[in-house]
Structure 1
């Protein structure tokens, strides 16, 4: 049900917004939502947007395992809230090589661009 709500959403949702939307389905505590989100993120169906402390359904079919060098980044519109997911294996490999060359062992990487989407920029122009 959590994934269904995220897939139907027009933008990112916080865990508490999800809880409010799922109360009629028996969800009563934030922990229920957080547990579901934890599994969905781990399995690659959902992404957590760090800068918003919110979640979006994955929009691209790709492997989220650590061994896959695919890099995922998000472009987040500050005006309308649209989130665009971008993924690139070559860029991911280059970033892994770059970080690895320092001896640093990365556990997690989050790349988020904040700004204005093309539609909102056209309206403002």
Structure 2
């Protein structure tokens, strides 16, 4: 179920651009700081843009970090589920789609009659590079 999204507004484009360039998660305040020269003054401007970008499937919210990350899959709006492995040492965030886990979750929610709106799976730990160091 690919969502079509309208052309991004200037603010949405700027916020998405700063997240894409960051290559990792940013808090709304970090985005605000990065975009001050582009005319952003209020956190609300950033939050409004982020909310729409999340709706469009272009950005994911990482609850455990209270931060946002640009989607690394093109056409991710097709996945209702995003999964992230977050390294607690270097901060690396890897996005992946755990199909078997998603299938299990969909079965469970179906059996329970639970209407799922969004799923974000966050794994916390140490990445391979940090573990080897």
Q: Does the TM-score normalized on the shorter chain lie above 0.5? A: yes
Q: How many equivalent residue pairs?
A: 120
**TM-score, normalised via structure 1 length:** 0.87
* Secondary structure, counterpart of 2:115 in structure 1: coil
**TM-score, normalised via structure 2 length:** 0.82
The reply to whether residue 87 of structure 1 matches residue 97 of structure 2 is: yes
- Range with greater deviation from structure 2 (56-65 or 71-80): 56-65
Considering fraction of residues, name the structure with more helix: 2
- Give the CA deviation at 1:103: 2.0
- Give the CA deviation at 1:54: 0.1
- Give the CA deviation at 1:110: 1.8
Q: Note if contact 2:58-2:76 (Cα within 8 Å) is conserved in structure 1.
A: no
Unaligned runs of 5+ in 1: none
Equivalent of residue 60 in structure 1, options 73, 82, 89: 73
- Give the CA deviation at 1:112: 0.2
Q: Note if contact 1:10-1:82 (Cα within 8 Å) is conserved in structure 2.
A: no
* Secondary structure, counterpart of 2:84 in structure 1: strand
- Range with greater deviation from structure 2 (91-100 or 31-40): 91-100
- Give the CA deviation at 1:39: 1.1
Distance 1:32 1:72 in 2: 25
